[in-house]
Structure 1
Amino acid sequence: MFQNTRDFARHLDSQDKISKYRNEFIFPKVNDKQVIYFVGNSLGLQPKTAKSYVDEIMTDWAELAVEGHFYAHKPWWDYHERFAQPLSKIVGALPSEITVMNTLSVNLHLLMVSFYRPTGKRIKIICEEKAFPSDQYLLQSQVKFHGFDPKTTIVEIKRREGENNIRHEDVIATIEEVGDELALLLMGGVNYYTGQVFDMKTITEAAQKQGAFVGWDLAHAAGNIKLELHDWKADFAAWCSYKYMNSGPGNASGCFIHEMHHNDPEMPRFAGWWGQRKDRRFKMEPEFMPESGADGWQVSNLPVLTLAPYLASVEMFAEVGMDALIEKRDKITAYLEFILHEIDKEVESTFEIITPSDPKERACQLSVYLHGEGRNLFDWLMKNGVITDWREPNVIRLAPVPLYCSFEDMYDFGQLLKKGISELHSVSK
């Protein structure tokens, strides 16, 4: 049983097997005090090692110039290959199925060249209602590019009236209803707004049974939940690295392409120099011969200065391991949920957690309706050292990231939340 006391929170911290990693990150300060940071689902904190990884490249550039491509401490021309092994363990893939390039929306567009190939009546795309806007925009533009009307070509799986989350049976029913008109299912593995985790294995099987390709936007999933992309036989996936994997603002994206597609000569793709076979890349030949595996989808040479902080974080993930992260994630999220319910009993407000209560259907996020409160409470929290996220119309998203959030943070947040509501209510009276 949990307790809403500082001593109990500190007791949980004393039992935390990965608590030492909190000291490996740099926290902003508000009023000269380290913040409580709840927005790792938007931008992760900076690992202290990130700067040294960037500095290493800057030094190599200064001392070696162009020769750094081959003779740097970590040669630049194959820098991305260092990600294959550790990222494969994070997303449940073979190393050959992993590459790192571009940014998330760019990669989804490039992957749809290969995996959205409408023919005959098989033209439709399924996504979830209230997908992240970037996904909505890229799907609409891809459909228009092929000459179709987004209103009739894109099928959204909707929430039932009065419900906050999408029912799994409604996902399957929609797939079966679209049937042989389905060309592609592309969804977020974790919904950015509610934090709902979808049953990717079963959904993938259902859509592929109808003859469709299946892709996953893992922006809120990679580094956050247990993934088994290879075993689930997802056709492709992509994710950003700057949320749970702490690589820095707007940083590089990871890609997964299942090995069943690696040797398909008929699969279209947009080719570029860095996707050419590594042993022939510098021969400057006119014919494109793709590198084996996911690296064959590379286009341009790598921006190694952006990959450097990502590599620093990925190597930390390899050291910690996803099992340890998930164990703490479940416990600290449950403790935050408990704190919210306890504070709700003490204040003149009602909090409604719209994230599923079942740990199997949620990860490191609680989205909370602040009934009776508004933007003023969010602003008060921000000014008092709680960095959180506001989403219209009246939701705050709280992500207690296990790598750097503590149980005592959860207790302190509850006390600040109670104080903020009390002060705002006294002013309004």
Structure 2
Amino acid sequence: MAESTPTTNGQATAAHDSREYAEYLTAQDPLKHLRAEFFIPSKADLARETLPGKDLTPPSHDDESVYLCGNSLGLQPRRVSQRLQQYLSTWATQGVQGHFKALTDSPLPAWLHADDAAAKAMAPIVGAAPAEIAVMETLTANLHFILSAFYRPQKEGRHKIIIESKAFPSDHFAVESQIRHHNLHPSTSMITIDPPTGTSLLPTSHILATIDEHASTTAVLLLPGIQFYTGQLLDIKTITAYAQAKGIFVVWDLAHAVGNVPLQLHDWNVDAAAWCTYKYLNSGPGAIGGMFVHERNSRVTTTTTSSNGATNGEKKETEEKEFHPRLAGWWGSDKKTRFAMTNDFSPIPGAGGFQVSNPSTNDLTTVCASLEVFNLTSIAELRKKSLGLTAYLEDRLLALQKKSGGFKIITPSNPEERGAQLSVQLEEGLLEGVMEELVKGGVIVDERMPDVIRVAPAPIYNNAVDVWRFMDEFEKALGSVREGKVGGGGGGVEKVVTN
């Protein structure tokens, strides 16, 4: 790659495949300060077999690992430990009073309102009103809550759920179990969309054609915002409008999209969506999930009826709430009457009315601590940086592919059809050895059997030097394994933990 670019001193030049060029890009990054908000594991830490001491000191630049795995588990924000300690101190000193009492020197709300604080912080990330969001449960559980409310199949009418054939297994299991729950069978009520022959991608036209084929008998469409294996970003706005025009309720799994790409769930008129918070939102392994229900699907109306008293004939007024049926629990009931213990369910308007149990305050504290970092920038700015980082990664990968072969990129080349992740499909037999060598070199990416590594430069903490260092290690690993110098062994990380 013969092109050259001025380095930071404005005089010398650096080839695009040089570390100097990567350092130049990093120095120009307007969001580079956000990296200091996160713990970057050191190579020594990754090799540990024991816990470190109490003080986690930042590693030197030379000892930092290359962590490009935010699509699976985001790094820990430094604010998390501080906010958790404040929560633990409240619990230690206030006990049950912490539910209702906010301490004046703590930024944390009373626990009763922690879910509202999380929804408010999440709103700009997904493009929704806070009332349309509930931070609750986990991703698959939230899909079940959504489907239990809005999948009402008719055996002689709409009974099908359309899903992609390569959906993450948990989504597939949720759909299949919901169908069986209604005494239907997946062989007739679950429609899977296979990619066209010769590709692993799902063109929008292909999805719309499948909708057309089954429109009159389909009740629900469930698709991923970003496909976990290929990294393809689907056209959420277009697909939603098209399916809804056919009378289909549209649900999106946003596990790989939230915190990664700009979303406008309200304006795109999405019916409902669910996501996790431990990937690009950096809230910790297995952390609490999120759910969106459009305001038109979660309204609560009150009707008042009058009747004569049974004994004295006096008029008696009775209020009755009308709302879409759902699985209900006490945390979805109006806060003003929640603790009255009257057994009268008065659902909160919006997604909050779909809550069941009181959410983990520990989890909510962690989520909000991470979202504080997002508040230091915007999704638009993060997306701008992400497009540049991913393009730089793609450029380097294509140059290496041309030079030596051994792999191909299966993620769309159009930047508007992908997020931060590029999925790299290796030649048969290379995956295990390449992963082993990457780990030895202090590089963390993840693998998807049988032959794909997923590389995801998260813009909130990754930079161009990370990309350069990955490519340096990847080229060496690929060459060594193909030449038979290394390979076999037990390399690889994160084989079955998350999607």
TM-score, normalising length: structure 2: 0.84
User: Is residue 2:105 matched to residue 1:69?
Assistant: no
Question: Given the alignment of the two structures, is residue 114 of structure 1 paired with residue 149 of structure 2, yes or no?
Answer: yes
Determine if the alignment matches structure 1 residue 17 to structure 2 residue 17. Answer: no
For 1:319 and 1:220, the matched residues in 2 are separated by 21
Give the deviation of 1:29 after TM superposition: 2.2
Is the CA contact (8 Å cut-off) linking 2:406 and 2:478 kept in structure 1?
no
1:8 to 2:38 alignment: no
1:6-60: CA deviation from partner (whole Å, max 9, x where unpaired): 1111111111111111111112222462211111001000000001111111100
Residue 338 of structure 2 corresponds to residue 303 of structure 1: no
- Aligned pair partner of 1:29 in 42, 46, 49: 42
Q: Residue 474 of structure 2 corresponds to which residue in structure 1?
A: 417
Q: CA deviation at 1:374?
A: 2.8
Partner of 2:441: 384
In the alignment, does 2:160 pair up with 1:124? yes
Counterpart Cα distance in 1 of 2:217 and 2:98: 50
Question: Per the alignment, in what secondary structure is the counterpart of residue 334 of structure 1?
Answer: helix
Distance 1:359 1:425 in 2: 30
CA contact (8 A) 1:180 1:210 kept: yes
One-letter code aligned to 1:282: F
The alpha-carbon deviation at position 158 of structure 1 amounts to 1.1
Say if 2:401 and 2:408, in contact at 8 Å, map to a contact too. no
Contact 1:26 1:48 in 2 (8 A): yes
Q: Does 1:148 align with 2:190?
A: no
Amino acid of the residue matched to residue 362 of structure 1? R
User: Residue 289 of structure 2 aligns with which residue?
Assistant: 253
Structure 2 runs not aligned, ≥5 long = 5-15, 46-62, 104-108, 301-321, 487-499
Following the alignment from structure 2 to structure 1, what is the Cα–Cα distance between the partners of residues 238 and 257?
Answer: 17
Give me the whole-angstrom Cα distance separating, in 2, the residues matched to 1:61 and 1:290. 28
Give the equivalent residue in structure 2 for 1:41: 71
Task: Indicate whether 1:276 and 2:333 are aligned.
Answer: yes
Show the counterpart of 1:60. 90
Local SS of the residue matching 1:46: coil
Q: Determine the structure 2 residue equivalent to 1:328.
A: 385
SS at match of 2:220: strand
Structure 2 counterpart of 1:222: 258
Contact 1:340 1:351 survives alignment (8 Å)? no
SS in 1 for 2:219: strand
Deviation per CA, 1:215-252: give whole Å up to 9, x if none.
Answer: 10100000011111101111111110000000000001
- The question of whether the paired residues in 2 share the 8 Å contact of 1:77 and 1:302 is answered with no
TM-score of the pair, normalised by structure 1: 0.97
Task: Please name the residue that 2:122 is paired with.
Answer: 87
How far apart in 1 are the matches of 2:323 and 2:386?
43
Map Cα deviations across residues 349-405 of structure 1 (whole Å, 9 max, x no partner).
332100000011001100001125231111110121110111111000000000111
Q: What SS does the corresponding residue of 2:400 show, helix, strand or coil?
A: helix
Tell me, in whole angstroms, the C-alpha distance in 2 between the residues paired with 1:418 and 1:115. Answer: 49
The counterpart of 2:407, out of the listed 348, 351, 370, is 351
Matches within 5 A, 1:114-263: 114-119=149-154, 120-263=156-299
Q: CA contact under 8 A between 1:4 and 1:342: conserved in structure 2?
A: no
Equivalent residue of 1:232, what SS? coil
1:428 Cα deviation after fit: 4.3
Tell me the distance in 2 between the aligned counterparts of 1:229 and 1:252. Answer: 20
Which of the pair is proportionally richer in helix? Answer: 1
> In structure 2, the residue corresponding to 1:110 is in which secondary structure?
helix
Partners of 1:160 and 1:422 in 2: CA distance = 33
Query: Matched residues in 2 for 1:426 and 1:260: separation?
Result: 60
1:168-221 Cα deviation digits (max 9, x unpaired): 111001111101101000111100000001111111111111111111010000
Which of structures 1 and 2 has the larger relative contact order (alpha carbons within 8 angstroms, sep 6+)? 1
Does residue 406 in structure 1 map to residue 436 in structure 2? Answer: no
1:54, 1:384 → 2: CA distance? 33
- Between 351-360 and 376-385, report the one with greater CA deviation: 376-385
Q: What CA distance in whole angstroms lies between the structure 2 residues aligned with 1:221 and 1:413?
A: 23
- 1:362-373 mapped onto 2 (5 Å cutoff): 362-371=418-427, 373=430
Structure 1 unaligned regions, length at least 5: none
Higher alpha-carbon deviation: 261-270 or 81-90: 261-270
Return the offset for 1:266: 4.7
Deviates more, 1:24-33 or 1:182-191: 24-33
Question: What is the total number of aligned residue pairs between the two structures?
Answer: 428
SS in 2 for 1:180: helix
Alignment partners' CA distance in 1, 2:482 and 2:298:
61
CA distance in 2, matches of 1:329, 1:387: 18
Question: In 2, distance between residues paired with 1:341 and 1:62?
Answer: 55
Which of the two has higher C-alpha Rg? Answer: 2
Q: Distance in 2 between matches of 1:164 and 1:64?
A: 55
Q: Report the secondary structure of 2:393's partner residue.
A: helix
Q: Is the partner of 1:283 in helix, strand or coil? A: coil
CA contact (8 A) 2:118 2:364 kept: no
